[in-house]
Structure 1
Amino acid sequence: MTQAGYGAVRALLDNGLHHFQHGPIDLIIGVDGEPACVQTGVEAAWQRFGSILPELVTELSQLRRPVGDKTTFQTPVAQRMGDACWPYRRGFVTAMAAVAGSVADEILQVILQAAPGLRRVFVNNGGDIALYLSPEETYTVGLVSNIDQVRVTALAVPTIAPDGTLTVHASQGIGGIATSGWRGRSFSMGIADSVTVLAVTAAQADVAATLIANQVNADHPGITRAPANTLKDDTDLGDRRVTVDVGPLPETIIRQALTHGAQVARQWQADGLILGAVLVLQGHVEAVFPALAEPCRYVA
């Protein structure tokens, strides 16, 4: 493991992937291409990586405020966050809804600028993925709706049994894949186990996944909610009620919630904000796929 300025650390994993970590930012990076180009791209990413968190800290108070018509940011990743959230400013959204995807986008751009000609690059920031595919390349991601399915072995290696896999093709123009839901790392106001969004950038996918997951919602005695600020002091959600538990639901409630979320996803797809989405709630799936010549392949 190598440590750089600002406290960032890196490691080359046994499978050839690169692990960059700095505070809450935890990246897994895969780069395919000629070895010299791969090395150049990874080193450029490492040089940029250490300064991202300090930059975000300088704008943290503004990043936690609702995005509005006059919201502006100064640093590159914060600007990505604001740009991704801008189309949704008429509702409640803070730029933090796009933080993971924006960091992934920034590192992806640095790699591609430093090393053109790579075949495939992905930057996975806690499940939110920035993706580059050269012509004819594909990328397959496992979809996990329940984080409790992650098991840690005696060797401390996490293993995951995915609910399904999603394969995307270079021709689809998908540059970002992000997932949100009440079981995830961040709070959700909805009841979706997971909402995975496909978009042109990871930042766009990140904020849309968060907001669509909020729309997969219903009222039922089996749903437990609490004010966000009673669960985490520094949350950007204030006293808005977030989901802390979802018990078994009747199929009518599940279908109602998924249908509402899918309607929002289809509208945003028509508006050009996202390319597609997969919504999951208690074993039920609603898919909104891109209308492209090379369709996504989802295998449950």
Structure 2
Amino acid sequence: MSGPTANWLADGRRLHLNHGPIDLIVEAFGAEDECRAAYRQAVARFDTMLEELVAELPALRSPVGEEPRSFASTTARRMEAATERHAPAFVTPMAAVAGSVADEVLAALVEGRTLARAYVNNGGDSAFYLREGESLEAAIAGTGNGFADRVTIRSGDPVRGMATSGWRGRSHSLGIADAVTVLARSAASADVAATLIANAVDLPGHPAISRVPACEIDPDSDLRDRLVTQAVGALSRSEVAQALGRGLAVAEAMRDRGLIESAALFLCGAVRECGAAPLVSMRDRAAKGATGPRNISSNRIAHHA
């Protein structure tokens, strides 16, 4: 494996950080000298991040318990803190790895700097910084067929992280959700919540759903011999509603406990929403005939599973 790399994207304003499985897009807004200093801080923190996580990987792949464990890496501690709040449900800190990395790099990016806003997008799991009066708009995933809609995060909102999970994404899922997008107070919190809600969107034992043990796909998977979804066949409207209802119940319980702010669940073109305000406006867009992704402006980020 090659070492960490840092390169500017073609637009010259977004920084691409990559090291093995970690792939980040970082953007800061503000005075040029402040942004440049912020980027240097982000790169310095990123340089050792993967090595730190690999050093503690066996414990990070082990389920959390009622009592938090001690980790050397601050990123690993973020992962543990985000996931242990969901105990006794089966979950390992790896369920929060992408969001925790985004939170950690964002913290380094903004430390001591005067910025208007900033974000770190880790393959779709994103952390935000917003000065008072600022906002960011993000495209979010829907059913796996492109960007579904937009969500605006404002400085007065408690949201500072967003994550998406589902069986169509890059990680294994125990459920059948095409996508579940969660807004929370941190990217780590959103990451683990999206994973668990997506797992709950399910029809156990349904013959149209193909599953295999996670260890057959990845011998090192933290899911071990648990069955992960590989394909979802035809489902009736009532079956889709039943599966989404299972996930929505989990999302609402998390929101009642203060673990998330909002969630949107997608399956076979159907949507369920949890939160005080709608996260997406699929029905409104469908009524207007809107389809496909829209352009991303300088204060927008693309967010996908």
Q: Which position in structure 1 is the counterpart of 2:61?
A: 64
Pairwise mapping of residues 5-84 of structure 1 onto structure 2 (< 5 A)? 7-15=3-11, 16-70=13-67, 71-84=69-82
The offset of 1:286, in angstroms, is: 0.6
The offset of 1:296, in angstroms, is: 5.6
Does 1:189 pair with 2:187? no
2:143–2:266 contact (8 Å) kept in structure 1: no
Does 1:209 pair with 2:198? no
CA distance in structure 2 between the aligned counterparts of 1:288 and 1:199, rounded to whole angstroms: 12
Q: Which position in structure 1 is the counterpart of 2:123?
A: 126
CA distance in structure 1 between the aligned counterparts of 2:237 and 2:133, rounded to whole angstroms: 40
- AA partner of residue 190 (structure 1): G
Q: Which position in structure 2 is the counterpart of 1:93?
A: 91
Q: Point out which structure has higher relative CO (alpha carbons under 8 A, 6+ apart).
A: 2
**5+ residue gaps, structure 1:** 1-5, 150-160
Helix, strand or coil for the counterpart of 1:203? helix
CA distance in structure 2 between the aligned counterparts of 1:207 and 1:260, rounded to whole angstroms: 17
1:213–1:261 contact (8 Å) kept in structure 2: yes
Helix, strand or coil for the counterpart of 1:248? coil
Helix, strand or coil for the counterpart of 2:46? helix
Helix, strand or coil for the counterpart of 1:61? helix
Q: 2:158 aligns with which of 160, 173, 184?
A: 173
Superposed CA RMSD: 1.4
- AA partner of residue 104 (structure 2): E
CA gap of 1:114–1:23, structure 2 versus 1, over 3 A, is farther
- Runs of 4+ off more than 3 Å: none
Q: 2:231 aligns with which of 241, 245, 254?
A: 245
The offset of 1:297, in angstroms, is: 5.6
CA distance in structure 1 between the aligned counterparts of 2:61 and 2:87, rounded to whole angstroms: 13
2:143–2:269 contact (8 Å) kept in structure 1: no
CA distance in structure 1 between the aligned counterparts of 2:115 and 2:279, rounded to whole angstroms: 24
Does 1:298 pair with 2:284? no
The offset of 1:14, in angstroms, is: 2.1
1:143–1:162 contact (8 Å) kept in structure 2: yes
Q: TM-score, normalised by structure 2?
A: 0.88
- AA partner of residue 45 (structure 2): R
CA distance in structure 2 between the aligned counterparts of 1:259 and 1:119, rounded to whole angstroms: 39
1:169–1:296 contact (8 Å) kept in structure 2: no
CA distance in structure 1 between the aligned counterparts of 2:165 and 2:142, rounded to whole angstroms: 9
CA distance in structure 2 between the aligned counterparts of 1:213 and 1:39, rounded to whole angstroms: 38
1:167–1:296 contact (8 Å) kept in structure 2: no
Deviations 1:198-226 (A, max 9, x none): 00000000000000100111132211111
CA distance in structure 1 between the aligned counterparts of 2:46 and 2:242, rounded to whole angstroms: 43
CA distance in structure 1 between the aligned counterparts of 2:95 and 2:200, rounded to whole angstroms: 15
Deviations 1:169-225 (A, max 9, x none): 221121100000000111000000000000000000000000010011113221111
Q: How many residues align?
A: 278
Q: 1:138 aligns with which of 135, 139, 143?
A: 135
1:179–1:197 contact (8 Å) kept in structure 2: yes
CA distance in structure 2 between the aligned counterparts of 1:48 and 1:173, rounded to whole angstroms: 25
Deviations 1:69-106 (A, max 9, x none): 34321210000000000111201110000000000000
- AA partner of residue 236 (structure 1): D
Deviations 1:130-184 (A, max 9, x none): 011122222222122355x4xxxxxxxxxxx312222222211211000000001
The offset of 1:256, in angstroms, is: 0.7
Helix, strand or coil for the counterpart of 1:165? strand
The offset of 1:285, in angstroms, is: 0.6
CA distance in structure 2 between the aligned counterparts of 1:114 and 1:13, rounded to whole angstroms: 25
Helix, strand or coil for the counterpart of 1:209? helix
CA distance in structure 2 between the aligned counterparts of 1:60 and 1:216, rounded to whole angstroms: 28
The offset of 1:68, in angstroms, is: 1.3
CA distance in structure 2 between the aligned counterparts of 1:203 and 1:191, rounded to whole angstroms: 22
Helix, strand or coil for the counterpart of 1:78? helix
Helix, strand or coil for the counterpart of 1:278? strand
Helix, strand or coil for the counterpart of 1:269? helix
